[in-house]
């Protein structure tokens, strides 16, 4: 989720937003024209790249997940009259997913905790709700086969998040370590959607999870960000090399943007109980979508 929120930094003190009264005293800026031509061009190119990667059975579901996620953010911004762009899809035919995902640009600061929380959580919930049925349909259309039949040295093996493990158990019953799911493209689209959701829900900086964490914990969210970066570096170093790219991106964000989230005016005001329960649901989503080894390479 893109974010162009800005703050004024008081020398020797934490980042502070500009005066709220003066901001709203100004006439609202005229609505910007949305880059719909760019939206459809990038959507079409991403459709081509994902179809090239895994067929149309993959491209349409994965675009539905990514689109739902980003339009969740966009519609939440529209609800609160916050200027934001329509989604930008990122085609990339040279990676296994056929895409690097999508993002939106938020063109003005967010000053209130409730708005920040709602915008941050809307995307993961929307994408998750689309991904879940695709997981169950995709696993139903898949087959469990002997591991030795499909895995050769140098081939990729994809780690199963908890939700995928549950769908496999529900469809095929218990499976042995000698068996593996030969996943249908629809199921792979759902798998990729779960991975994208888990990446965005890491409670760091200005990721979706960082917005949620800051809305819940206020200034203490900075410590959560620091622990998250440390945990991700340990994952990359000792659990799975597939975390290196995400760990590198977070380290760059950490050193150039810092772990502190831009301030809102009411950061000391607790969220209402309904939003706190949604924050708990965000943790549940992360647990269901996360896998410690997203991708591994078969050695033998």
- Cβ atoms within 10 Å of 277's Cβ, excluding its own: 11
- The structure tokens 């709602």 sit at 118
H or E element, residue 128: helix 113-140
Phi, psi dihedrals of residue 196, rounded to the nearest 5°:
-60, -40
Measured between alpha carbons, how far is 214 from 107 in angstroms, rounded to an integer?
A: 20
pLDDT tens digits in sequence order for the chain, 300 residues long: 444 443 333 434 445 555 555 555 455 556 677 889 999 999 999 999 999 999 999 999 999 999 999 999 999 999 999 999 999 999 998 889 999 999 999 988 999 999 999 999 999 999 999 999 999 999 999 999 998 887 777 778 899 999 999 999 999 999 888 899 999 999 999 999 999 999 999 999 889 999 999 999 999 999 999 999 999 999 999 999 999 999 999 999 999 988 888 889 888 889 999 999 999 999 999 999 999 999 988 775
> Residue 211's pLDDT is what?
96
> Residue 151's pLDDT is what?
75
> Residue 26's pLDDT is what?
53
User: What is the token pair recorded at 64?
Assistant: 């539905």
CB–CB of 82/106 below 8 Å?
yes
User: What is the token pair recorded at 262?
Assistant: 């831009």
Return the axis-axis angle of helices 113-140 and 273-289, rounded to nearest 10°: 40
> Residue 13's pLDDT is what?
42
CB–CB of 197/285 below 8 Å?
yes
> Residue 216's pLDDT is what?
95
What is each CA distance from 262 to 12, 112, 229, 267, 297, in whole angstroms? 16, 11, 18, 10, 39
Helix (H, G, I), strand (E, B) or coil at 15: strand
């Amino acid at each position: 989720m893109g974010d162009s929120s800005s703050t004024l930094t008081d020398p020797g003190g934490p980042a502070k937003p500009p005066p709220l009264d003066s901001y709203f005293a100004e006439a609202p800026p005229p609505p910007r024209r949305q880059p719909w031509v760019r939206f459809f061009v990038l959507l079409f190119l991403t459709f081509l790249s994902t179809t090239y990667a895994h067929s149309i059975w993959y491209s349409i579901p994965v675009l539905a997940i990514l689109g739902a996620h980003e339009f969740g953010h966009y519609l939440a911004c529209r609800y609160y009259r916050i200027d934001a762009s329509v989604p930008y899809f990122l085609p990339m035919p040279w990676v296994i997913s056929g895409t690097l995902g999508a993002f939106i640009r938020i063109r003005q600061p967010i000053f209130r905790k409730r708005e920040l929380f709602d915008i941050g959580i809307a995307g993961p919930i929307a994408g998750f709700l689309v991904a879940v049925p695709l997981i169950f349909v995709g696993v139903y259309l898949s087959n469990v086969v002997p591991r030795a039949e499909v895995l050769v040295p140098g081939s990729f093996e994809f780690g199963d998040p908890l939700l995928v493990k549950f769908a496999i158990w529900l469809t095929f019953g218990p499976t042995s370590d000698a068996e593996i799911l030969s996943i249908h493209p629809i199921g792979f689209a759902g798998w990729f959607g779960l991975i994208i959701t888990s990446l965005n829900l890491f409670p760091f900086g200005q990721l979706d999870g960082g917005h949620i964490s800051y809305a819940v914990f206020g200034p203490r969210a900075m410590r959560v960000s620091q622990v998250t970066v440390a945990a991700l570096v340990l994952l990359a170093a000792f659990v799975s090399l597939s975390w290196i790219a995400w760990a590198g991106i977070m380290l760059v964000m950490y050193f150039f943007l810092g772990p502190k989230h831009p301030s809102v005016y009411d950061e000391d005001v607790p969220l209402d109980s309904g939003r706190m329960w949604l924050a708990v649901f965000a943790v549940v989503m992360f647990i269901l979508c996360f896998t410690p080894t997203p991708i591994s390479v078969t050695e033998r």
